[in-house]
Amino acid sequence: MSFASLPMASTVVDSILFRDAFGTAPMRALFSDVALIQRYIDAEIALARAEAKVGVIPADAAEVIARQSRIERIDFDHMRHETDIVGYPILPLVHQLVAMCGDAGRYVHWGATTQDIMDTAVALQVRDALDLVDAEIRDLRGILADLARKHRDTPMAGRTHLQQALPVTFGYKVAIWLAMFDRHQQRLAELRPRVAVVEFAGAAGTLASLGDKGFEVQAAMAEELKLGVPATTWHVARDGFAEAVNLLALVTGSLGKIALDIMIMASTEFAEVYEPFVKGRGASSTMPQKRNPISSELMLAASKAVRQHAGLMVDAMVQDFERATGPWHAEWIAIPESFILTAGALHQAKFALGGLIVDEARMKHNLGISRGLIVAEAVMMGMAPYIGRQQAHDVVYDACRTVNEKGGTLAEALVALPEVTAHFDRAAIDRLTDPANYLGLAPRMVDRALALSAQARG
């Protein structure tokens, strides 16, 4: 590609450098200018066919509109110039469609308003974009299920407040990730019928321009486009689109949580997991030893950006009267970018988790660095039936202080206490202080999560 032919992109979603890091080609194509204008044309054709079906306009006029309204005949430079003047793209588009359709052109955009066409086009985009997100989540759930199953019994340190707390398994950690995305897929299915609806209501939303044919046209147009019919006009009721972007914020928020876990566990001091090895990926320009968790970093960045757009969409819900004076425009920024960033983050997650390198030996090593203190609760609960819960707590507390102040292991400190050896021999103490023997129901929680996820996948 020569310098002269370089595109003029100025954001990461279209940048020749960053677009594949922050998005995917299918999602970018869905929200491209050409795809959006095609959706405008689809909405205008569907409107004409619907109106012909119920006798509002002549059937032959609708046929001409459907046949002649072709995106390859659009003068995009002229449409851009006129949009700059008008402020909206529909009147400039209608001017060109009217010219394309000859005498039938008089029936283009009959009874509609600009926002009808634009909202319907975006509803079509969102419907199809949700299909892409749905497929990506489904793939990711399969990857997470395999990872949880494989590491059902792989012990590692569970951490709270970034301190070792109790032993868990890596499969248990992954099962928690899996359950989040099971819920996201359920949310997506529930959301779809609320957002994939037609908008056709006329100037102030009352369908006054079509007399008593308004509802019939609306229903026929929805059928043409395979969209639902809303209860009322939603020109200024933006909860559907706001819900869609806030769902994306939940999805990317979960990806951000996974990314943060991976990045910390991949740090030199933890060294428990690594993103898949690809020569040169994550390399530093100055430090040859570096292997940065690039996919996780991109997932985290996307989660932060989509969260901001989710707030913008909620803010844009506050609209005045029957047609807003500006909040609507904010959606034009937030919706495409949120879907593209979400698709990119899901793609990065599939790569990172699909080939995640898990160092089980390092997890076992880290589980032992507390010299048994991580299972202090296990020892306390094991002793409680013999000497009482509080007495057991005090004995183990003293043993932990000995380890912290004088070194050695918890098992060695316990062996030196008569209150302990009166009830437990060294073999029993070793069993009590082995972290692998205090996993609670973590492995069985993995089983339950896998069963529920498989059931949800049908």
Task: Provide the greatest CA pair distance for the chain.
Answer: 103
Tell me: pLDDT of 35 over 90. yes
Q: pLDDT tens digits, residue range 373-403?
A: 888 888 889 899 988 989 989 999 999 899 9
> Phi and psi at residue 104, in whole multiples of 5°?
-70, -15
Tell me: pLDDT of 284 over 90. no
Q: Which residue has the tokens 């959706």?
A: 39
Contact between 250 and 184 (Cβ < 8 Å): yes
Q: Residue 302 and residue 289: Cα distance in Å, rounded?
A: 27
DSSP 362-383: HHHHHHTTTTTGGGHHHHHHHH
Count of alpha carbons within 13 angstroms of residue 454, beta-carbon side: 10
Q: Which residue has the tokens 């010299």?
A: 371
Distances (CA, A) of 406 to 43, 201, 393, 398, 410: 77, 79, 20, 12, 11
Across the chain, mean pLDDT equals 92
Secondary structure class of 67 (helix, strand, coil): helix
DSSP 437-458: G--TTHHHHHHHHHHHHHHHH-
Amino acid at 207: L
The catalytic residues are: 161, 284
Q: Which pLDDT score is estimated for 420?
A: 87
Tell me: pLDDT of 289 over 70. no
Q: Residue 451 and residue 446: Cα distance in Å, rounded?
A: 9
Amino acid at 16: I
Q: How many Cβ atoms sit within 10 Å of the Cβ of residue 435?
A: 22
> Phi and psi at residue 164, in whole multiples of 5°?
-60, 130
Least Cα distance to 32 among 84, 71, 85, 75 occurs for 71
Secondary structure class of 355 (helix, strand, coil): coil
Q: Which pLDDT score is estimated for 458?
A: 64
Q: pLDDT tens digits, residue range 9-31?
A: 788 888 888 888 999 999 999 99
Q: Which residue has the tokens 């990711």?
A: 140
Q: Residue 53 and residue 101: Cα distance in Å, rounded?
A: 19
Contact between 395 and 415 (Cβ < 8 Å): no
Helices 33-53 and 76-86: angle between axes, nearest 10 degrees: 80
Q: Residue 28 and residue 20: Cα distance in Å, rounded?
A: 10
Q: Which pLDDT score is estimated for 279?
A: 64
Q: pLDDT tens digits, residue range 177-198?
A: 999 999 999 999 999 999 999 9
Quote the Cα angle for 107-108-110, to 5°.
Answer: 70
Q: Which pLDDT score is estimated for 16?
A: 86
b/e map of 166-181 (b: 16 or more CB within 10 Å)?
bbbbbbbbbbbbbbbb
pTM of the model: 0.92
Q: pLDDT tens digits, residue range 116-155?
A: 999 999 999 999 999 999 999 999 999 999 999 999 999 9
Q: Which pLDDT score is estimated for 147?
A: 97
